[in-house]
Structure 1
């Protein structure tokens, strides 16, 4: 399709509006984090342990990872529009199931089903690629990414306020209402953008061995997984630390919780401005080092006796800043290893990153259960960040070896 077709909002015969793409990707981010300040209250409501309640994060991420591998090929076969519409209908049913769940087992089942909202993230970017050439696609995806960075800043604050005033269920009622509105927006504004539909599902999976044989691909995947692992550990453990260790209310946890997202917003801006000049490897290394320095400083302050929420949450801003520099560049690295397999690399790399994040999120919940200290979480986040530095140093060395040969 032409990259210069006029855009008319709520007219699906024209290219979708950028607002629509931001919204369909942003709802997934909101679904992941809006209820996190409510985890302690939900633990009490369902009469369970925090480590079990925290599975609502790790299981969600795990299913999210699996779906990322599948959604791209499915949409190639059946088209973007029907997969998006079907995915959001399932999201609405899953959200209603979370609200009506009588016990923790039922809630976790429907929570896993909510992960289908990842169709917005995967296909929002695919739609941009369908409608634009490479340069314009990069610009459009940048706007979508910046929009997604704003959602985690405000989501926990909204969720904490709703929990404190109306109860934890209010978060899921809000997701249900927003899901209905987004479904209507997709129906009105987003027509089919895929150029062809083909039986490429099996063919794409047959290309995986070639990609998996590349050490550089694994290096970039490890960089992304370890960088995001620090953040996912935070997702799994910070609500417990805020409420049980520092004694914050749900609304206060929500306000503090957005600290990494603020850093991520600026990290994305740095990547957009300097990645071309510095190169992706240097940007990944600098981002990983910033995260290590920030978390190391927080741990030193804790050892010095400064055990408070301002130190803990304030220094997690460096996690977001580092991730904003690491993740866009590591993703670019994954796609550049085998350019003809860029679509496969995108889905597989995203799945690996989220699978690692789900594991670390669950581990954070286990490590903190029964404790009264933020040390286990800080140490876990610092360890995975150090491993991120090791991963990019290995990748740089491997790239040098490839160039020499």
Structure 2
């Protein structure tokens, strides 16, 4: 990587990505206490989770073109600063309305993830970018996995507001780090913001961009199906042990971390589509093995959760290469592509998970769940094969 393309330290981008993921669920153990403190209905308080996700997706659509037009540094600094102020607002909120307002403002921190990917892509070659994105993906998985335990501890010792004080402290620290490490972009001829917004049309019209985004959407959708239905499908065999269930479900994000590290190690050596395809094949193979075990009458919990680890492992291998491939369609619009890809991936994953409700009920067993997850994973594999074909043709 030559000096003219040198970007900020990878650790800075890892922290930016981690703080973008941490607020999603770190405070969720405190939801009952927040409802009790404000005398609010739990469904209303739950908007702090669902509403956050919606605003985060919309924010990335806007932040991408802004970062292409005005530079990564001002957009990141503004987002982290607003997140820090909003965290203080949540900690001091006197009512549920004020709390929800500041909680939705916190969602601007999602910008940190997509802009980090854009910075990596524009400061690295295509394969090197996929390798670095593997490290970023690891932090993005570790943060929400460890967050609820840390947030629950803070709530137990200091009360629910301590979570948002912690967010404010972390935000201030990341803001200082980003201000010191992110450099202002070199001055260049300004393009109208509308030209960046028109870039959405170019990206959506690209078969290669669509193939990689579809691959990521079905990959995340497979994970969402597992998260939403695993407890009801496998719970009876655990005799009601929620602690054991949580430990077993944690094997999947652990697999994601392993897959991300493998991607960071091998993505620079092979074409992007190779690691993407390997990830989808691993997921399909694991789920197919689980389905065969179920058909053969295996009832041990590891006969279900063991194969499901390949969901995380496959996604960890897939996401860095697929993100790098999507951002390579228009390198001059890396921020726009990152924001659009992130929003479509999350929306697509949620749509896949919602559609699974047509085939799954609370009474569905592991066999039905494995079939639905395998169907989603197979569609992700088909999208990956299409991306491979497009890459080889070009």
Q: Quick check: TM above 0.5? A: yes
Number of residue equivalences: 387
Correspondence for 1:12: none
The correspondence for 1:349, drawn from 337, 341, 345, is 341
Q: CA deviation at 1:266?
A: 1.9
Partner Cα separation in structure 1 for residue 303 and residue 34 of structure 2: 26
Partner Cα separation in structure 2 for residue 234 and residue 161 of structure 1: 27
Correspondence for 2:319: 327
Cα deviation code 1:32-61 (max 9, x no counterpart): 232455668778885435xx7766545433
Gaps of 5+ in 1: 7-14
The correspondence for 1:192, drawn from 183, 198, 202, is 183
Q: CA deviation at 1:146?
A: 4.0
Residues 5-404 of structure 1 aligned to structure 2 (within 5 Å) = 16-36=8-28, 46-48=40-42, 56-99=48-91, 100=93, 102-103=95-96, 109-128=101-120, 141-162=133-154, 169-187=161-179, 189-196=180-187, 198-234=190-226, 247-248=240-241, 258-275=250-267, 279-298=271-290, 304=297, 306=299, 308=301, 314-338=306-330, 342-360=334-352, 371=362, 381-396=373-388, 402=393
Partner Cα separation in structure 2 for residue 131 and residue 65 of structure 1: 25
Q: CA deviation at 1:366?
A: 11
Q: CA deviation at 1:91?
A: 1.4
Computed over aligned residues only, the root mean square deviation of the Cα atoms, in angstroms, reads: 4.4
Q: Is the 8 A contact 1:34 1:155 kept in 2?
A: yes
Gaps of 5+ in 2: none
CA pair 19-342 structure 1, distance change in 2 beyond 3 A: closer
Partner Cα separation in structure 2 for residue 354 and residue 155 of structure 1: 20
Partner Cα separation in structure 2 for residue 170 and residue 146 of structure 1: 26
Partner Cα separation in structure 1 for residue 352 and residue 32 of structure 2: 19
* TM-score normalised by structure 1 residue count: 0.74
Correspondence for 2:3: 3
CA pair 393-82 structure 1, distance change in 2 beyond 3 A: closer
Q: Is the 8 A contact 1:211 1:341 kept in 2?
A: no
Q: Is the 8 A contact 1:64 1:354 kept in 2?
A: no
CA pair 283-138 structure 1, distance change in 2 beyond 3 A: closer
* TM-score normalised by structure 2 residue count: 0.76
